[in-house]
Amino acid sequence: MSEASDASKEKSYSRGITIEFRNEEESRGFHCAFEQWKKEVVIQALLKVHSRRACGAGRQLNRPEMAGASHIHRASLRQLGAAGARSCLPNEMTSSSASKFDDKIEESSAKMYFHYYGQLLHQQNMMQDYVRTGSYYAAVLQNRTDFTDRVVVDVGAGSGILSLFAAQAGAKHVYAVEASDMADYARKLISGNPSLSERISVIKGKVEEVELPEKADILISEPMGTLLINERMLESYIIARDRFLVPKGKMFPTIGRIHMAPFSDEYLYIEIANKQQNYYGVNLMPLHGTAFQGYFSQPVVDAFDPRLLVAPAISHVIDFTSAKVNATGSSSCLRKICMNDIPLRFVSSTGTRVHGLACWFDVLFGGSTVQRWLTTAPGAPVTHWYQLRCVLAQPIYVMPGQEITGRLHMVAHKAQSYTLNLTLSAKMWGPGAEQGGILQTSSGKLDLKEPYYRMSQPQAYPMSQDQQPVQLLQTQDLQVQTHDEGGSNLLQQSV
Ligand SMILES: C[S@@+](CC[C@H](N)C(=O)[O-])C[C@H]1O[C@@H](n2cnc3c(N)ncnc32)[C@H](O)[C@@H]1O
């Protein structure tokens, strides 16, 4: 049968149908369900066109269980070359061909990652972090004007909770993009909230790969990992900005800051340094050197008492609205997010042994009505991120007023995390200090992917007589030092 006769046959089956409803409510219910179905059909059609144009086959490539075939997909995408690389879709949006996600992340890591987030129990853990979820709820609902009648994209929607908040705040439409199988649960959860569901479409796929039928006025996302940058999801957030956000559109969160300060914690140091030397009468010393190095390569995740900090914190700011693709042209690596080189400079407020660098982060929701911070600082209500400490195998001794300098160099790797290179030095102190010499230096290399989850609640540490509590942390009103893009200029910023 010819194509033409196929088409006419199709036409001959087209008939109008009349549906009668018993009441207004039934009619409205049907209308909503139909509109939702229509939207999904349009999005699915766009996705099919996109993947067919990109690789010449109509298969779904975004699903984690298809990961085994994705390198073939990537290769064929590259062969398309520049001409085929940005094909026009029917809605005049362009599709970027090579997956920026696949470029930066190794397959095995991505598979485990999306498997983890595909489980309801892990999403539930995050939802039950009330500091986190409550901050998002307040930030969205207190800034209704930013959401009312606006198009929203929820980047990595998980259960869909933030999409539901955005719809509660009056969003015209929310596109909830989620790569893991959690997308199916999100659909279920959203359809159980009928007053909101008609304004939310769940799209299963990676933000780097899916197409949306329209641009967004505002992005909402929870892309923060341990130390802000772990999981490398911030990069997906930035890519979503470049792909979907209208110029000058809003981002919730808007900026993130990593805060750092040297700390002293004898208990923690002894716990790490003395791990397993005698074991059921077996001398473990032959392996001690390697094991010792291994323990100190693990950043410690727990909640600590802020009185352990020995100097006021400095901050490294990442502005999500302006972070750019790497200057080297590598589209998979975002400057400041992939490679953070942070010069450190502190003045010790006490005489003590410094055991390493303590870090935490906060993010700002820069709403038009209310500017709201979500903080993970020590001393603040504990979140599921806790805080992070990089412990040095060799502590350094400092006196009150002595300068501590150094560098934290963080380099992204393909397992969705970072290698941290930390150096701390005690500068010359007292007479002759102006000659600027270094007294002691200690360095460590840590893998953010392999933390030691110590998870203790903050404890009241006994203070030695010469270590009086100092006012080190006033997270909201603090005068903090921040870096410019190159990390070289220190600016004073009052937040
Ligand atoms: C930290 S969870 C947040 C979930 C939800 N937004 C919330 O706040 O409860 C991050 C979610 O983003 C998803 N995700 C991560 N990278 C993604 C990407 N590139 N594209 C789509 N989803 C992604 C993960 O599968 C996960 O469900």
Give the per-residue pLDDT at 288: 86
Nearest protein CA to atom 17 of ligand 1, as residue: 156
The mean pLDDT of the chain is 79
Q: How confident is the model at residue 37 (pLDDT cuts 50, 70, 90)?
A: low
As beta bridge partners, residue 397 has: 353
Give the per-residue pLDDT at 284: 86
More confident residue, 49 or 293: 293
Nearest protein CA to atom 14 of ligand 1, as residue: 156
Q: How many angstroms separate the alpha carbon of residue 31 from the centre of ligand 1?
A: 30
Q: How confident is the model at residue 439 (pLDDT cuts 50, 70, 90)?
A: confident
Give the per-residue pLDDT at 312: 98
Q: How many angstroms separate the alpha carbon of residue 223 from the centre of ligand 1?
A: 7
**Nearest 5 degrees, angle CA 166-CA 169-CA 174?**
30
More confident residue, 6 or 355: 355
Q: Percent of the chain scored above 70 by pLDDT?
A: 69
Give the per-residue pLDDT at 283: 86
Nearest protein CA to atom 19 of ligand 1, as residue: 206
Q: How many angstroms separate the alpha carbon of residue 164 from the centre of ligand 1?
A: 15
More confident residue, 80 or 153: 153
Q: How do beta strands 278-279 and 282-283 pair?
A: antiparallel
The ligand 1 atom at the shortest distance from the C-alpha of residue 114 is 25
* Mutate-to-test residue for ligand 1 from 115, 180, 226, highest number of ligand atoms within 8 A of CB: 180
* Mutate-to-test residue for ligand 1 from 122, 130, 178, 208, highest number of ligand atoms within 8 A of CB: 178
Q: How many angstroms separate the alpha carbon of residue 158 from the centre of ligand 1?
A: 5
Model confidence at 335: pLDDT above 90: no
Q: How many angstroms separate the alpha carbon of residue 109 from the centre of ligand 1?
A: 15
How many CA atoms lie less than 13 Å away from 230 in the CB half-sphere? 19
Could you report the predicted ipTM of this complex, rounded to two decimals?
1.00
Query: How many Å apart are CA 228 and CA 237, to the nearest integer?
Result: 13
Average pLDDT over residues 227-246: 96
The ligand 1 atom at the shortest distance from the C-alpha of residue 136 is 8
Let me know: does 251 contact 222? Beta carbons within 8 Å: no
Give the per-residue pLDDT at 22: 75
Cis peptide bond upstream of 253, omega within 30: yes
Q: How many angstroms separate the alpha carbon of residue 253 from the centre of ligand 1?
A: 14
Average pLDDT over residues 62-66: 27
Give the per-residue pLDDT at 436: 65
Model confidence at 494: pLDDT above 60: no
Give the per-residue pLDDT at 461: 57
Give the per-residue pLDDT at 373: 98
Q: How confident is the model at residue 41 (pLDDT cuts 50, 70, 90)?
A: low
Question: For the segment 107-149, what is each residue's pLDDT rounded down to a tens digit?
Answer: 999 999 999 999 999 999 999 999 999 999 999 999 999 999 9
Q: Maximum CA pair distance of the chain?
A: 98
The ligand 1 atom at the shortest distance from the C-alpha of residue 126 is 9
The ligand 1 atom at the shortest distance from the C-alpha of residue 132 is 8
Nearest protein CA to atom 23 of ligand 1, as residue: 156
Q: How many angstroms separate the alpha carbon of residue 417 from the centre of ligand 1?
A: 15
Model confidence at 77: pLDDT above 50: no
Give the per-residue pLDDT at 365: 98
Q: How confident is the model at residue 88 (pLDDT cuts 50, 70, 90)?
A: very low
Q: How many angstroms separate the alpha carbon of residue 403 from the centre of ligand 1?
A: 41
Give the per-residue pLDDT at 487: 31
CATH numeric code, 100-222 = 3.40.50.150
Q: How confident is the model at residue 428 (pLDDT cuts 50, 70, 90)?
A: confident
Give the per-residue pLDDT at 450: 95
Question: For the segment 456-493, what is each residue's pLDDT rounded down to a tens digit?
Answer: 656 555 555 444 434 344 333 333 333 333 332 222 22
| Token pair belonging to 54 | 């990109």
Q: How many angstroms separate the alpha carbon of residue 249 from the centre of ligand 1?
A: 21
Nearest protein CA to atom 8 of ligand 1, as residue: 222
Question: For the segment 271-324, what is each residue's pLDDT rounded down to a tens digit?
Answer: 999 886 678 888 888 888 898 899 999 999 999 999 999 999 999 999 999 987
- Tell me if the pTM is above 0.80: no
Model confidence at 189: pLDDT above 60: yes
More confident residue, 360 or 464: 360
CA–CA distance from 323 to each of 132, 247, 256, 320, 430 (Å)? 24, 14, 11, 5, 42
The ligand 1 atom at the shortest distance from the C-alpha of residue 206 is 20
The amino acid that residue 61 corresponds to is L
Model confidence at 12: pLDDT above 80: no
Homologous superfamily of 257-492 in CATH? Hnrnp arginine n-methyltransferase1 (2.70.160.11)
Instruction: List ligand 1's pocket residues with C-beta within 6 A.
Output: 101, 114, 117, 123, 126-127, 156-159, 161-162, 177-180, 182, 206-208, 222, 233, 236
Q: How many angstroms separate the alpha carbon of residue 161 from the centre of ligand 1?
A: 11
Average pLDDT over residues 238-247: 97
Model confidence at 432: pLDDT above 70: no
The ligand 1 atom at the shortest distance from the C-alpha of residue 182 is 27
Model confidence at 33: pLDDT above 80: no
Q: How many angstroms separate the alpha carbon of residue 94 from the centre of ligand 1?
A: 23
Beta carbons within 8 Å of 178's beta carbon, 6+ residues apart = 156, 157, 158, 160, 186, 202, 203, 204
Q: How many angstroms separate the alpha carbon of residue 210 from the centre of ligand 1?
A: 14
Q: Percent of the chain scored above 90 by pLDDT?
A: 61
Average pLDDT over residues 154-158: 98
The ligand 1 atom at the shortest distance from the C-alpha of residue 157 is 6
Query: How many Å apart are CA 155 and CA 177, to the nearest integer?
Result: 6
Going from N- to C-terminal start, the domains of the chain cover 19-92, 100-222, 257-492
Average pLDDT over residues 14-34: 65
